[in-house]
Structure 1
Amino acid sequence: MVGVVSFLSTVPSLAISTRPHSAAPRYHPFNELIASCGTFCGDAYSADLIQRRQRSEFLSNIKGTLYTAIKANPDIIPSVLTLALNDAITHDKATKTGGANGSIRLSSEMSRPENKGLSAAFNLIEEAKKEIDSYSKDGPITYADLIQFAAQAATKATFLASAIRKCGGNEEKGNLLYTAYGSSGQWGLFDKQFGRTDAQEPDPEGRVPIWDEASVQEMKEKFRAVGFGPRQLAVMSAFLGPDQLETEKKLATDMEVAPWVQKYQRSRETVSQTDYEVDLITTLTKLSCMGQQINYEAYTYPVQKIELSKLKL
């Protein structure tokens, strides 16, 4: 009979001490190192938890501010989405320039033909920034972060509005529907990419098409240049101009893009629209990090130390 190989039998044998348990342990400097490391590691872990909480609370407040601003101005959603796309899609992998760096805020870039009509969306973000900076405890939020999180807020508002429509316009039922069937959990990675830096100069010209004038082939080439294909082009249709349905009508004339357009149109008709939401969130997450080295300690501030000597016991 062939013996059964257990997990433990694959582990190299360990020398086991036969010294009685009552024997005093030998001194070794390494023991002191372990002991001190325990205290240090514990402090580091606690500090990390505090920083994470700080960032989480700040981000939650940012989302609330942006959602309130966008909910009050729903007509501006297409422009907010295009603003985020145009800021990020300037990325050039070969030269490692451009990307989601907030450079679109600079007047010389905002005044370009491809950004015509986006100033109202940027003004809304500027107003939101004043409020956000007023409660930030570690300096102002970057435009690079704010523009991408505004796109997230606009996307979420669109998802929620769709759920409300499916409930006959009942907001309470729509909220419950989206809570039950929506894809909020898919935003986890997007939320972690928080700590972009602002560019101080405009990105090079000629990297962004005028979306509502560009041919489908031009759109495909631009998306391909940043590592996306027909699938991502189709799912980002709401970002490509003021009228999503008109954009999709144009995209559907291309044999490569048409199947994806139809897939997402069908998905949006379902209760959960899972395929559409998940693919859009995934694409926006990738897009919003282009050209960025994220500072995962941004927006944290020094932890107050408690002086035990001042405690009266």
Structure 2
Amino acid sequence: MAVNVDAEYLKEIEKTRRDLRALISSRNCAPIMLRLAWHDAGTYDAKKKTGGPNGSIRFKEELTRPHNKGLEKAVAFCSEFMIKPFLRCYYSSGPDNKRLLFPLMSKFWFLISEEVKAKHPRVSYADLYQLAGVVAVEVTGGPAIPFTPGRKDADSPDDGELPNPNEGASHLRTLFSRMGLSDRDIVALSGGHTLGRAHKERSDFEGPWTQDPLKFDNSYFVELLKGETPGLLQLKTDKALLDDLKFHPFVKLYAKDEDMFFKAYAISHKKLSELGFNPPRRIPSAVTEQTLGIAVAAAVVIFTICYEASRRGK
């Protein structure tokens, strides 16, 4: 279904952004929102022109695939009548109970996004999921990522393999090149693992990649260069960034220079969020319309002055 990106739609996007910012900050769900954006976009095939950030992950067939393991259980278990009592229970619990409830809490990303969608029904799922990823990075201290709205929602699930954490560099390069992404993109986007942690019931792995999994910074690369640290995770796909001669220089660069990482990440994230997406040629805005009105009024005034001056000259 086509998205009409008019001034009203842009206003709705900004309202959605504000709601996402408040929701992600209050519920500490930035890692899950970023994962949602990545998984919806990561099915893109540049040759076939299929998949990509089109909201298809909302379909059960895609949601229940192995790389989304465990998420369908939360969606099936919960309803709008159950989520609010659960959230009240979670946020009123002590630290020990929160640790026990966190694995279940982390599976609520789909319902949480539905909460925002219900307030902004005109915004496409595709735009909503990608905007959630952008906001997740920003509210945790990461770079500002330009966001262009107008993505159409798919009407069926996508096919497309996502990265396998048990594979190495050649697997990463094959998958990301299928999407049309480069070695630099692979390393920069891998730095997004500075947010969040793996959960055994979802991926057979457990633990965070960094000391502070709710802060977006370059510590993923710093920890990677240190080698294995007790309590922190390093998957085969992480170690591949060190072993591969083309990946390794980027790891060293981003570990040394956080500003350089932020700049590279913002570029690569935007590319990922726009795979297969052709933005509207002209996006209107209230500012643009106001500026145009002022320009027209000024032109009328100038024409009138010139006309009167020419009359007097005669």
> TM-score per shorter chain, which class?
0.5 to 0.7
Which one of the candidate residues 265, 272, 286 is aligned to 2:271?
Answer: 286
Secondary structure of the equivalent of 1:294? coil
Percent identical pairs in the alignment equals 29
Is the 8 Å Cα contact of residues 85 and 239 (structure 1) preserved in structure 2? no
Partner of 2:167: 214
Give yes or no for the alignment of 1:230 onto 2:183.
Answer: yes
Q: Which runs of 5+ in 1 are unaligned?
A: 1-49, 134-139, 161-182, 269-273, 304-313
CA, structure 1 residues 68+79, in 2 after alignment: closer, same or farther (shift >3 Å)?
same
User: Following the alignment from structure 2 to structure 1, what is the Cα–Cα distance between the partners of residues 6 and 125?
Assistant: 21
For normalisation by structure 2, the TM-score amounts to: 0.60
Is the 8 Å Cα contact of residues 196 and 295 (structure 1) preserved in structure 2? no
How many residues of Structure 1 are paired with residues of Structure 2 in the alignment?
211
Which one of the candidate residues 252, 270, 278 is aligned to 1:262?
Answer: 252
Q: How far did 1:298 drift? A: 8.7
CA, structure 1 residues 141+55, in 2 after alignment: closer, same or farther (shift >3 Å)?
closer
Which one of the candidate residues 45, 53, 65 is aligned to 2:19?
Answer: 65
CA, structure 1 residues 106+296, in 2 after alignment: closer, same or farther (shift >3 Å)?
farther
- Aligned 1:168-183 pairs, distance under 5 A: none
Give yes or no for the alignment of 1:158 onto 2:140.
Answer: yes
CA, structure 1 residues 79+238, in 2 after alignment: closer, same or farther (shift >3 Å)?
farther
Partner of 2:214: none
CA, structure 1 residues 265+120, in 2 after alignment: closer, same or farther (shift >3 Å)?
farther
Give yes or no for the alignment of 1:252 onto 2:237.
Answer: no
RMSD value over aligned CA atoms? 2.9
Partner of 1:7: none
CA, structure 1 residues 71+263, in 2 after alignment: closer, same or farther (shift >3 Å)?
same
Q: How far did 1:132 drift? A: 2.6
User: Following the alignment from structure 1 to structure 2, what is the Cα–Cα distance between the partners of residues 111 and 254?
Assistant: 32
Partner of 1:123: 111
Q: How far did 1:228 drift? A: 1.7
For normalisation by structure 1, the TM-score amounts to: 0.60
CA, structure 1 residues 239+114, in 2 after alignment: closer, same or farther (shift >3 Å)?
farther
1:117-170 CA distances to partner (integer Å, 9 max, x unpaired)?
A: 55432222111212233xxxxxx211110010000001102226xxxxxxxxxx
Q: How far did 1:238 drift? A: 4.2
Q: Which runs of 5+ in 2 are unaligned?
A: 72-106, 198-207, 210-219, 221-233, 290-314
CA, structure 1 residues 70+296, in 2 after alignment: closer, same or farther (shift >3 Å)?
farther
Is the 8 Å Cα contact of residues 195 and 296 (structure 1) preserved in structure 2? no
1:9-30 CA distances to partner (integer Å, 9 max, x unpaired)?
A: xxxxxxxxxxxxxxxxxxxxxx
User: Following the alignment from structure 2 to structure 1, what is the Cα–Cα distance between the partners of residues 9 and 123?
Assistant: 12
